[in-house]
Structure 1
Amino acid sequence: MTKAIRVHRTGGPDVLSYEDVTVGEPGPGEVRVRHMAIGLNFLDIYYRTGLYPMALPFTPGNEGAGEIVSVGEGVSEFAPGDRVAYVGPLGSYAEERILPAQVVVKLPGAIDFEVAAAMMLKGMTAEFLLHRTFKVGPGHTILFHAAAGGVGLIACQWAKHLGARVIGTVGSPDKAELARQHGCDHVILYREEDFASRVREITEGAGCDVVYDSVGKATFPASLDCLKPFGTFVSFGNASGPIEGFNVALLGQKGSLYATRPTLFTHTADRASLVDMATKLFEAVESGIIKIMISARYPLAAAAEAQHSLEARATTGATVLLPA
């Protein structure tokens, strides 16, 4: 028996139950992983509340890092004792779990387990946003909402390294300073300022090449007003609620804009792409281009408390859960 968080009904953080579970042995093409650290993400809340429906009961969580305990038939890339990390199917809020070997990558010795667990989903998200959704480079101006969040801190550092001018929105002066320390050239306090007007001021009316928006309802459609003609609106989350009643004609009215709603798991469905994305992320962290900020650590048993803090926007950077 091992311990895991289980969700038997959707709702608030109180539906997260810390229970004994049976893991079993890996089947063909699978590995069993013992977690040393587990990542916490806003995505976990979408599943818990039912915004993203799942068959009940389930164990939440999409990322973790640890060691291979055993491997199933046909698995040759991994062996017991290997240090690994992953972003994959639900089930990481557990001391141990079974995973398809194809979603797991070997973890370089220079990256510790907590850093790996804190960065896999967020860092791989930053990778596909900046390198695959809209290829950011010198001369580009980007707007990144929630710049002091887990994805934001990684993405803003990376975008700055790629040569972009980086504008970020945050909710407090403390978060503003943090965003500046992690690559933002300009920071907008969205609770105190009209962010679309400030973007126009900062860019002298030109607007941004791309807006990355994980906030959703609260920042739409104003995010479109931040773009230059033919600019790209990238929606990749719904922290304030989903965007409803999207009128595609707005894209024409506001400058022949492009809009997309990519997901990480479409990119990582191909093993070669997954490995390439992870390699780029690991290299960026090992070289110091990206520094991973872990702001909080909770025991796995306190997952409800950790999610409450995340949902209340009381966190900055990344939070990890630690098995007993």
Structure 2
Amino acid sequence: MNANAVSIKRQGAPEEMVLEQQEIAAPGAGQLLIEQKALGLNYQDVYHRSGFYPLSLPSGIGTEAAGVVLACGEGVDEFKPGDRVAYAGGAPGAYSSHRIMPADRMVKLDDGVELGDVARVLLKGMTVEYLLNRCVPIGTGKTALVYAAAGGVGLLAGQWGHHLGATMIGIAQGEAKCSLARANGYSHVIDRSCEDVAARIRELTGGKGVDVVYDSVGKASFETSINALKPRGTFVSFGTTTGAPPAVEAAQLQKLGSLYFTRPTLVTYTASRQELLDSAGTVFRMLRDGHLRVHRGADYRLEQVVQAHHDLESGRTSGACLIIP
């Protein structure tokens, strides 16, 4: 069997991605052959392609997809051909019409779940789940600051935090994105294109600061983020869209009020199969109960993947985007 798949031979600009035919072998022991119907577009795909994350080359790109099981390898008893499944995370290679995947990293889907919505939300939703539920749990009486509030993760974080009872402050750029964030759980949204972010945070918190910052930006936002925290607040650095944040010194955390700093990853928080199933199950339950809405961003064909990466990197996207193989 042949698959249409995107690969790179060297890391760099979006144009390094090439769509080609690749032969797909039969699934081995503990593996599934998946016909992929919808592929997630995530910023970590940019990290893999650009070289921010090192890869062994040549390599595929993409880490999230939803589809249907075509065949099962020896020893697989949890799945059968025809099952609807999804995955998020693991080695790059999701930008493909078909893929071999380890069965223990797959999640079985209910019949009523739309595959496109799963591919839009699974990785982003599990990211929000571990950040807000387990990394630094928030709830009533807590105030959280979230960057890129109109992005795929940001919109889900606003809704999730609002459901938990926290006061959510978002940062976005431009009135359209700020309005979108306000409609998705944020009590306050700061427009970084025309407002002084640090001053607005002080104003909104009465000078006290926030309990937690969920920062996906990195280098460019580091000083604003660390100074936005109240004493004993927590800086959660989970993304680096502008480059890695500077090294954090223990003395700086002490001086600014016994602060905490953490650099978590979804890989760590879904390391075991049970953690993976629990996290995905929580996301699906939040969707089913109406506490989360999927904001459908742009759809791209697999042959439009170069344009998709240009749009994502330039900030022209909002919500959760999709690639159709």
Letter of the 1:230 counterpart: R
The within-5 A match list for 1:236-255 is 236-255=238-257
Match of 2:142 in 1: 140
**Residue by residue, what CA displacement relative to the aligned partner does 1:90-118 show, whole Å, maximum 9, x if unpaired?**
11000000111111001122220110000
Is 1:223–2:249 an aligned residue pair?
no
CA distance in 1, matches of 2:181, 2:142: 18
| 2:55 is equivalent to residue 54 of structure 1 | yes
- State the alpha-carbon separation in 2 of the partners of residues 68 and 122 from structure 1: 23
For residues 76 and 269 of structure 2, what CA distance do their matches in structure 1 show?
Answer: 23
Structure 2: give runs of 5+ residues left out of the alignment.
Answer: none
Identity, in percent, stands at 46
Residue 77 of structure 1 aligns to a residue whose secondary structure is: coil
The 2-side partners of 1:218 and 1:265 are apart by: 25
Letter in 1 for 2:190: I
Separation in structure 1 between the aligned mates of residue 290 and residue 247 of structure 2, nearest angstrom = 42
The match for 1:274 is 276
3-state DSSP of counterpart to 1:115: helix
How far 1:248 moved relative to its partner? 3.2
Structure 1 contact 180–187 (Cα < 8 Å) conserved: yes
Cα deviation for residue 49 of structure 1 reads: 0.8
Give the TM-score of the pair, scaled to structure 1.
0.98
Contact 1:110–1:286 under 8 Å retained in 2:
no
Q: Distance in 2 between matches of 1:88 and 1:145?
A: 22
Could you tell me how far apart the structure 1 residues matched to 2:301 and 2:198 are?
40
Shift of 1:202: 0.4
Counterpart AA for 2:38: A
For these two proteins, the number of residue pairs brought into alignment is 323
RMSD, aligned CA: 0.9
Amino acid at match of 2:53: Y
SS in 1 for 2:154: helix
Cα deviation digits, residues 288-313 of structure 1 (max 9, x gap): 10001111000011111101100001
**SS across alignment from 1:182:** coil
The Cα shift of 1:267 comes to: 1.3
Deviations 1:226-260 (A, max 9, x none): 11100000000001111134333221111110000
User: For residues 223 and 251 of structure 2, what CA distance do their matches in structure 1 show?
Assistant: 12
Contact 1:168 1:184 in 2 (8 A): yes
1-side partners of 2:283 and 2:247: how far apart? 35
Q: Secondary structure at 1:220's aligned position in 2?
A: helix
Q: Secondary structure at the match of 2:293?
A: coil
**C-alpha distance in 1 between matches for 2:199 and 2:24:** 53
From 198, 201, 209, the equivalent of 2:200 is: 198
1:22 maps onto 2:23 in alignment: yes
Distance in 2 between residues matched to 1:219 and 1:131, nearest whole Å: 23
Contact 1:160 1:166 in 2 (8 A): yes
1:73 is aligned to 2:65: no
In the alignment, the residues of structure 2 paired with residue 241 and residue 191 of structure 1 have an alpha-carbon distance, to the nearest angstrom, of: 20
- Equivalent residues of 1:296, 1:318 under 8 A apart: yes
- Asked whether the 8 Å contact 1:111–1:286 carries over to 2, the reply is no
Work out the CA distance in 2 between the residues paired with 1:228 and 1:88: 33
Contact 1:145 / 1:215 at 8 angstroms: preserved in 2? yes
Q: Which residue of 2 aligns with 1:86?
A: 87
